[in-house]
Amino acid sequence: MTAVDVAIVGGGAVGAACARAAALRGLEVAIFEPGPDPAAASPASAGMLAAQIEPLDDVLIGLSVRGRDLYEPLAPALQETTGIDIGFWRAGIASVAFDDQTADRLKEDVARQRQAGLRCDWLDGGEVRERWPGAAPECLGALFAPEDGAVDPQAVARACLADARRLGAAFQPEKIERLQIANGRTTGVISPRGVTAAEHVVIAAGVWSPQIASLPRPLAVEPLRGQMAATAWPDGTPPAILYHEQGYVLARGVDAVLGSTMERAGFSAAVTNEGLAQIFRGAVRLLPALVRQAVARTWAGLRPVTPDGRPILGRDPELAGLWYATGHGRNGILLAALTGEIIADLLTTGETNVDIAPLGADRFNP
Ligand SMILES: Cc1cc2nc3c(=O)[nH]c(=O)nc-3n(C[C@H](O)[C@H](O)[C@H](O)COP(=O)(O)OP(=O)(O)OC[C@H]3O[C@@H](n4cnc5c(N)ncnc54)[C@H](O)[C@@H]3O)c2cc1C
């Protein structure tokens, strides 16, 4: 293959979004993706856009709200250019409290978010049950973020890849083994089929990012397993996304998607009885009508997590031409579109209007 402007290593949601955004700016792009690996995060994800729900720091809240809001224009744009519906659904997420301590914490969170100008409400237990009859009968109330929602994560990756290819990006079903480096800069990528010369290389290989040989630094990205299950959504309950610390349940079409565990299990994407027991216990507490539903599917994937929960985003501080878009942890679908925009801005102008200083690759391994 001839030289390209940018080689993207990994075609999960993050790599796909980077490829699309770069191709939209007129760059010649090649995406390298041998799989997806059966343990990949994107196909396993719940796809929640939980910008105001997951316990995040202020840096991540800012990024997440911005990332979530990008889906509003992205969904119709992808539908128009690729015909793929990414299932963007902005019906709000309720984070439910079953005890006083959690209720107090969530009420404080509501106040803090409102002060920051975000839409956020406290619903008491009665209001929760009125909105979603049958839900969380023992709950004391819920933080409700009306602008949060969900997408179909597989459709997001598929649509971004399709759009990137429509814009001229080449898809290479190859595993990248190492970088090619010459005169202090990245000059391409090497797969078992040979070298592809590239002016820029973007590392977007999820939990496998640190395994790419000749990276100039160790990447502090580790796998955190998440197990999931799906059953039919119970008749008579309006579709919802209900969340609490031990689990969540969301409506996707006729399915109820139940999640998830957070386990250090190396690179194993096995589904275990213990994991499923935790998921079912949590989901049934949120929506008791699930208890008699047949289990339709179970699966697991590996979240690429960093020690501080923030992604690694931006240039390598020393090796010119090398960029990182990895370590998105629990919120990589939420942050995929924004990551694509940031990377594409950096590749084309060297700048971004998002503050990525707290996301540097050298914060763990200076
Ligand atoms: C159970 C579960 C639930 C989740 N729920 C949510 C949620 O509700 N909302 C949310 O925002 N996020 C969620 N996440 C997190 C989110 O899925 C991830 O942060 C995100 O998918 C990461 O995307 P990625 O493209 O970086 O990684 P991946 O999707 O893992 O993609 C990496 C890709 O790189 C490829 N690859 C690996 N090595 C190489 C190589 N050497 N050369 C080329 N390609 C390579 C792999 O085949 C793979 O396809 C969840 C994750 C899990 C596991």
Domain 90-147+222-305 -> CATH class: alpha beta
59 or 2, greater pLDDT: 59
Could you give the CA distance from residue 15 to residue 20 in angstroms, rounded to a whole number?
A: 9
pLDDT band at 34 (very low <50, low <70, confident <90, very high): very high
- Predicted confidence at residue 223, as pLDDT, reads 98
C-alpha of residue 42 to centroid of ligand 1, in Å: 4
Q: How confident is the model over 167-191, as a mean pLDDT? A: 97
> Residue 43 C-alpha to ligand 1 middle, in angstroms?
7
User: Which of 228, 328, 334, 343 for a ligand 1 pocket mutation test, highest count of atoms within 8 Å of Cβ?
Assistant: 328
Ligand 1 atom closest to Cα of residue 334: 11
Given this model, what pLDDT does residue 365 score? 72
For residue 366, the model assigns a pLDDT of: 66
* pLDDT computed for residue 54 by the predictor: 78
CA 203–ligand 1 middle distance (angstroms): 12
pLDDT at 231 over 80: yes
Distance in Å from the first CA to the final CA of the chain: 35
Q: How many CB atoms lie within 10 A of CB 233?
A: 23
How many whole angstroms from 214 Cα to the centroid of ligand 1?
22
Assess contact for 206 and 16: CB atoms under 8 A: no
CA of 318 to the centre of ligand 1 (A): 26
Q: Which atom of ligand 1 is nearest to the CA of 37?
A: 47
Q: Is the pLDDT of residue 159 over 70?
A: yes
Strand 295-305 versus strand 312-315 pairing type: unpaired
Mean per-residue pLDDT for 144-149?
Answer: 98
Q: 250 pLDDT exceeds 70?
A: yes
Which residue has tokens 């194993």?
Answer: 268
Q: Which two tokens stand for residue 175?
A: 């595993």
Please give the residue that has the higher pLDDT: either 6 or 1.
Answer: 6
Kindly state the percentage of the chain with pLDDT values over 90: 95
Atom of ligand 1 nearest to the CA of 35: 47
C-alpha separations of 71 from 49, 147, 224 in Å: 9, 11, 26
Answer yes or no: is the C-beta of 306 below 6 A from any ligand 1 atom.
no
Q: What is the pLDDT of residue 2?
A: 73
Amino acid at 305: V
With a cut of 70, say whether residue 55 has pLDDT above it. no
Please classify residue 178 by burial: count the beta carbons closer than 10 Å to its beta carbon, then call 0-12 exposed, 13-18 middle and 19+ buried. middle
Which residues are bridge partners to 313 per DSSP? 325
Whether 205 is in the pocket of ligand 1, judged by its Cβ within 6 Å, is: yes
Q: Is the pLDDT of residue 21 over 70?
A: yes
pLDDT band at 240 (very low <50, low <70, confident <90, very high): very high
pLDDT at 320 over 80: yes
Q: Is 309 in the pocket of ligand 1 (CB under 6 A)?
A: no
- What are the pLDDT digits (tens) for 251-297? 999 999 999 999 999 999 999 999 999 999 999 999 999 999 999 99
Mean pLDDT of 238-243: 96
Nearest to 137 by CA among 258, 288, 244: 288
**If residue 32 lies in a helix (H) or strand (E), which one and from where to where?**
strand 29-32
What's the rounded Cα separation, in Å, for the pair 23 and 6? Answer: 9
C-alpha 123 – ligand 1 centre gap (Å)? 33
- Evaluate whether 349 touches 25 at the Cβ level (below 8 Å): no
Q: Which atom of ligand 1 is nearest to the CA of 329?
A: 19
Domain range annotation of the chain: 4-50+154-220+307-363, 90-147+222-305
Q: What are the residue ranges of helices labelled H in the chain?
A: 13-24, 41-44, 58-82, 100-115, 125-131, 153-166, 273-286, 336-349
Q: What percent of the chain has pLDDT over 70?
A: 99
- Centre of ligand 1 from the C-alpha of residue 314, in Å: 18
Mean pLDDT for the chain overall: 96
Mean pLDDT of 16-24: 98
**For residues 206-226, average pLDDT:** 97
> pLDDT tier at 58 (50, 70, 90 boundaries)?
confident
Would you say the C-alpha torsion 155, 160, 165, 170 has a positive or negative sign? negative
Model confidence at 25, in pLDDT bands (50, 70, 90)?
very high
- From 46, 66, 75, select the one nearest 153 (Cα to Cα): 46
Fold of 4-50+154-220+307-363: FAD/NAD(P)-binding domain (3.50.50)
Query: Pick from 202, 210, 227: which is nearest to 303 by CA?
Result: 227
As a whole number of angstroms, the distance between CA 110 and CA 142 comes to 10
